[in-house]
């Protein structure tokens, strides 16, 4: 949902925005993604709806009413007060080859909320207040195995949480150059739970529960720059650069190892605590990012451009430990309303046509020219390659005819419209 209209009293919009910010922070997704176990969770595509319609092009983009929070230098182009709310409804399908199963999940979650406004009628000076969810953790997986001498063992892995950022940004520009800065507070939580249930008919084993709850937060800042080169009265080239430094988030962790039993009234009854550690202080290293891009546009006619971004997820650390993450190197190129696919090694993949969201630390799941998915890194499943189909070419049969005799007559095929009649539709009215 995107709406913009001029107003001289933004107090009412600020009140609505504050209420929606609190609602968005408490919203949980109803998906089930095993990839969210790694790092801080699945990366949420938090770009505004205008950038999404152009394949994610945002670093070199600016508009007088679209609030582009990816590059804060674009705030200098704001001419009207804009309340912008994003709501995402999506679905995900996971497939397993051994055994052959298919799992579907759907969810709805706010993707961003912001209010941008010009600070001066004469100077290119704008302000933006917003809140954006960055990552999401939500999974519930179960597996059953067998231990020799005991019996069957059921493992249940669950995770919840996510990362958000509340920020304020400002952009100021001159005749051609615009600079901007986003600064705010980045916070979140992650809850990992593992339950082990031993199934035995003769020996009653107790159920085990291992839980790890972490709360974290810290300040951050992102800078942006845009430079405009006029090509005519209504045509221009806009260059954009964005960047943020690697920063540290303070964290507090609670660890528990306990036995439990299921209860119809309380859900779970804790029987005994084997180990418990509360308020364990630590830190989380959040990686930095760099990006640059350009757009070529003609006012109210057309726009095309390209951009490149790099996220250093290999530098991510959780209490000094690393996760199997990789740096993402996405490139975006938009031309005539189509997104052209690009894939860089160890990075993000962008496609044309219907857009599917990729996570920065997921393995490359799709390739151009229908390459097989690379999911061994996380699912440990073999990749089945499709063998090419070879068509045997048989020589054409030649008709032996006498030189003085005419060739055999072949009936001319009838047109399809004489063989298949379209259905007849009759409309009647009664009164």
Query: What residue has token string 């979650």?
Result: 109
Q: In the predicted model, what is the mean pLDDT of residues 268-283?
A: 89
Of the pLDDT bands very low, low, confident and very high (cuts 50, 70, 90), residue 307 is: very high
Q: In the predicted model, what is the mean pLDDT of residues 320-336?
A: 65
**Are the C-beta atoms of residues 224 and 73 closer than 8 Å to each other?**
yes
Q: Is the pLDDT of residue 52 over 50?
A: yes
Of the pLDDT bands very low, low, confident and very high (cuts 50, 70, 90), residue 360 is: very low
Burial zone of 120 (CB within 10 Å; 0-12 exposed, 13-18 middle, 19+ buried): exposed
| Neighbour tally for 198: CB within 10 Å | 16
Q: Is the pLDDT of residue 187 over 80?
A: yes
CATH architecture of residue range(s) 2-379: Beta Barrel (2.40)
- Of residues 422 and 207, more confidence is placed in 207
Of the pLDDT bands very low, low, confident and very high (cuts 50, 70, 90), residue 300 is: confident
User: Per residue in 11-32, pLDDT tens?
Assistant: 555 455 545 544 544 444 456 7
Q: Is the pLDDT of residue 8 over 60?
A: no
How high is the mean pLDDT of the chain?
Answer: 75
* Domain boundary assignment for the chain: 2-379
∠ CA 207-209-210, nearest 5°, is 150
Cα–Cα distance, 186 to 294 (Å, whole number): 28
* Per-residue b or e along 390-424, where b marks 16 or more CB atoms closer than 10 Å to that residue's CB: eeeeeeeeeeeeeeeeeeeeeeeeeeeeeeeeeee
Cα–Cα distance, 22 to 134 (Å, whole number): 15
Closest-CA residue to 61 (of 288, 305, 242) = 305
- Of residues 181 and 422, more confidence is placed in 181
Supply 389's token pair.
């189909």
DSSP output for 334-367: EETTEEPPEE-TTS-EE-SSS-----TTS-----
Q: Is 381 helix (H, G, I), strand (E, B) or coil?
A: coil
Q: Is the pLDDT of residue 391 over 60?
A: no
Q: Is the pLDDT of residue 288 over 50?
A: yes
**Phi/psi class of residue 41: alpha, beta or left (left: φ > 0; alpha: ψ in -120 to 50)?**
left
User: Per residue in 65-85, pLDDT tens?
Assistant: 899 999 999 999 999 999 998
Of the pLDDT bands very low, low, confident and very high (cuts 50, 70, 90), residue 381 is: very low
pLDDT at 334: 52
User: Per residue in 219-274, pLDDT tens?
Assistant: 999 999 999 999 999 999 999 999 999 999 999 999 999 998 888 887 788 888 88
pLDDT at 265: 80
pLDDT at 62: 93
Q: In the predicted model, what is the mean pLDDT of residues 403-426?
A: 47
User: Per residue in 117-149, pLDDT tens?
Assistant: 999 988 999 999 999 999 999 898 888 888 777
Closest-CA residue to 244 (of 69, 16, 77) = 69
**Are the C-beta atoms of residues 137 and 43 closer than 8 Å to each other?**
no
Cα–Cα distance, 13 to 410 (Å, whole number): 77
* Rounded percentage of the chain residues whose pLDDT exceeds 70: 68
pLDDT at 27: 47
pLDDT at 198: 86
Q: In the predicted model, what is the mean pLDDT of residues 415-426?
A: 42
Q: In the predicted model, what is the mean pLDDT of residues 394-399?
A: 52
Q: Is the pLDDT of residue 402 over 60?
A: no
Q: Is the pLDDT of residue 369 over 80?
A: no
Asked which of 73-77, 91-95, 187-191, 204-208 is least confident by mean pLDDT, the reply is 91-95
What's the whole-model pTM score? Answer: 0.67
């Amino acid at each position: 949902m995107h709406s913009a209209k001029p107003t001289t009293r933004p107090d009412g919009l600020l009140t609505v925005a504050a209420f929606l910010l609190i609602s968005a922070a408490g919203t949980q997704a109803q998906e089930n993604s095993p990839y969210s176990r790694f790092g801080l969770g699945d990366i949420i595509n938090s770009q505004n709806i205008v950038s999404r319609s152009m394949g994610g092009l945002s670093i070199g983009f600016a508009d007088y009413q679209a609030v582009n929070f990816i590059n804060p230098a674009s705030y200098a182009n704001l001419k009207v007060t804009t309340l912008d709310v994003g709501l995402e409804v999506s679905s995900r399908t996971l497939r397993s080859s051994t055994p052959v199963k298919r799992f579907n999940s759907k969810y709805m979650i706010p993707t961003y909320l912001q209010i941008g406004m010009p600070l001066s009628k004469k100077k290119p000076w704008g302000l933006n207040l917003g809140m954006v969810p960055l990552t999401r953790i939500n999974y519930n997986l179960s597996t059953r195995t067998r231990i020799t001498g005991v019996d069957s063992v059921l493992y249940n892995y669950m995770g919840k949480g996510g990362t958000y950022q509340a920020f304020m940004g400002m952009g100021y520009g001159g005749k051609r150059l615009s600079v901007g800065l986003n600064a705010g507070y980045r916070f979140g939580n992650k809850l990992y739970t593992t339950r082990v249930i031993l199934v035995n008919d003769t020996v009653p084993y107790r159920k085990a529960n291992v839980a790890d709850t972490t709360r974290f937060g810290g300040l951050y800042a992102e800078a942006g720059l845009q430079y405009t080169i006029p090509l005519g009265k209504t045509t221009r080239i806009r260059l954009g650069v964005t960047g943020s430094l690697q920063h540290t988030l303070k964290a507090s962790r609670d660890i528990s190892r306990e036995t439990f039993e299921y209860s119809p009234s309380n859900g779970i009854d804790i029987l005994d605590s084997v180990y418990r550690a509360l308020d364990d202080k630590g830190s989380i290293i959040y990686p930095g990012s760099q990006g640059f891009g350009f757009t070529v546009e003609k006012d109210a006619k057309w726009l095309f451009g390209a951009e490149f971004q790099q996220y250093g997820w290999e530098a991510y650390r959780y209490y000094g430990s690393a996760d199997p993450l990789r740096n993402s190197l996405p490139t975006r190129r938009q031309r005539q309303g189509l997104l052209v696919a690009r894939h860089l090694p160890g990075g993000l993949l962008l496609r044309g046509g219907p857009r599917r969201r990729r996570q920065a630390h997921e393995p490359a799941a799709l390739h151009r020219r229908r390459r097989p998915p690379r999911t061994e890194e996380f699912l440990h499943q073999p990749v089945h390659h499709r063998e090419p189909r070879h068509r045997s070419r048989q020589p054409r049969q030649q008709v032996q005819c006498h030189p003085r005799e005419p060739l055999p007559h072949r009936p001319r095929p009838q047109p399809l419209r004489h063989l298949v009649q379209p259905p007849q539709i009759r409309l009647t009215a009664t009164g």
